[in-house]
A and B are shown apart, each in its own frame.
Chain A
Amino acid sequence: MMAASKKMLDQEPSEIEMLLPWHAAGTLNARDARRVDEALASDPALAQQYAVIREEYAETIDLNESLGAPSARAMQKLFAAIEGEPVRKPSVSVNISARISEFFARLSPRTLAWSASLGAVALLLQAGVIGAVLVKNQGGSFQTASLILNDRSAPITRELGGSPPPRALVRFSEDARVADITALLDNYQASIVDGAKGGMFRLQFGNSAMGKNDLAALMSKLQKEKIVSLAVETP
Chain B
Amino acid sequence: MQVLYGRHHVRVFRFGLRLVRDEQVAEDLISEVFLDVWRQAGKFEGRSAVTTWLLAITRFKALSALRRRKDVGLDEEAANAIEDTSDDPEVVVQKKDTSEALRNCLTSLSPDHREIVDLVYYHEKSVEEVAEIVGIPENTVKTRLFYARKKLAELLKAAGIERGWP
Contacts and interface: CB of A to CB of B under 8 A. Distances in A.
Contacts, number: 143
A78 B34 contact: yes
Contacts of A64: 14, 18, 118, 122
The bracket for how many chain A residues form the interface is: 35 or more
Contacts of B1: 82, 96
A55 B14 contact: no
B146 A59 contact: no
B133 interface: no
Nearest to B33: A78
A75 B163 CA distance: 42
Interface stretch (B68-76, B83-91, B99-107): B99-107
A9 B166 CA distance: 7
A225 B142 CA distance: 30
Contact of B46 (A67, A71, A99): A99
B62 interface: no
A124 interface: no
Contact of B124 (A26, A62, A70, A103): A26
A60 B118 contact: yes
Contacts of B103: 59, 62-63
A82 B39 CA distance: 9
Contacts of B136: none
Contacts of A103: 4, 49-50
Contact of A63 (B106, B120, B126, B152): B106
9 contacts: A5-B165, A18-B146, A19-B142, A61-B122, A63-B106, A74-B13, A77-B27, A82-B35, A103-B49
Interface of B: 1, 3-5, 9-10, 13-14, 17-18, 23, 26-28, 30-31, 34-35, 38-39, 41-42, 44, 46, 49-50, 99, 102-103, 106-107, 117-118, 120-122, 124-127, 142-143, 145-146, 149-150, 152-153, 163-166
Given A18-B146, A19-B142, A99-B44, 20 more contacts: A21-B145, A25-B124, A28-B126, A56-B102, A56-B117, A60-B121, A61-B121, A64-B14, A64-B118, A70-B10, A70-B23, A78-B5, A78-B31, A81-B35, A91-B42, A96-B41, A100-B50, A108-B124, A198-B124, A199-B124
